[in-house]
Amino acid sequence: MTRKAILLSASPSSAPIPGVHTDIASWQLFLSSNPGGAWSRQEIVHLNNCDREAALAAVRSAKDVDYSLIVFAGNGEILKGDLPWPEAQVLLSNGDSLPERELNPRTPRCTIIFDCCRRTSDYDESAALTKDAAPLPAEQDTVKLRALFDQSLTTAESGLVKIYAIEAATAAAHEPSFSRQLLYQANAWAKQHHGALSLQQGVSLAAEATRKTNPLQKPEYQGGRRLHHFPLAVSL
C-alpha cells in the first residue's frame, strides 16, 4: 500500500491565524509516529504559506499512490457554487483560493481534512500545544503497526472521505483547533486500546470534545456509504 500525505497551512501576514503552522507540524509528527501509522519522511509533504502552484504541484505528486491524505489548516469558507452541493474554498496566504476539487489527487483511496474557517486570536500557540498535547504511547514495533495501518486501508472500501472542522455558515472556535482535538483523541485512544481507530470514530471523539468547549462548532465526517472506514490511529 503506497501512501502520500500533503500537509498545508496558510496564515496571511496581514491577518495571522495563530496555531495553523503548529497544527500542521503536529500532523507531521503524528503521522511519523507509530500510533499515526509510521509514515516515512518521503511520504509526507509539508508546506507552510505556499502559493497556488506549489499546493497544486504537491497534490499532483500524490496522484499515483494507493492512499492520499490532504490536510489544510488555515482560513476558508464553504460555498454553494457551480456544483449541486456546497464546496469548501481554502484561502492561501497570498490571497489565492483553491476549491476542494483541486485538492483531490483522485487516488483510489483519499481523505481530505479541512481545518478551516478559523478565527484570528492572540493566544500563544506554543503554550496551547503544550497544554493540549497527549503523552504518546510507549514505542512499539514500527513494522507491525505500519502493516496494521495498511491492512486497515486495504479492508476499507475505496473512494473519497471528506472531513470538515465546521458545518457551513459557522465559524471555528479560537482554540483548541479541530486538528488539535483530533490528534489528542487519537493519541489518547492509542494509549488504552488495541487495533485501529477509524477516521469516523476519531471525528466522533473530537466532535464530542469540541461540543464541551464550543457547542456551536460541529465537525462533519463525509465518508459515503461504507462499512469499513480508513484508519486514523493504530495500536498493538
Where the chain has pLDDT below 70, the residues are 80-81, 83-84, 117-140, 167-175
Dump pLDDT digits (tens) for 187-201.
999 999 999 999 999
pTM (2 decimals)?
Answer: 0.89
- Looking at residue 10, its pLDDT comes to 93
Domain spans, the chain: 3-235
- Looking at residue 134, its pLDDT comes to 41
A 10 A CB-CB count for 143 gives: 10
Which stretches of the chain are DSSP H helices? Answer: 20-32, 52-60, 125-132, 142-155, 178-192, 199-213
- Looking at residue 130, its pLDDT comes to 37
Nearest-Å Rg of the Cα atoms of the chain is 16
**CATH for the stretch 3-235:** 3.40.50.1460
What CA–CA distance (Å, rounded) separates 161 from 61?
19
What CA–CA distance (Å, rounded) separates 153 from 231?
7
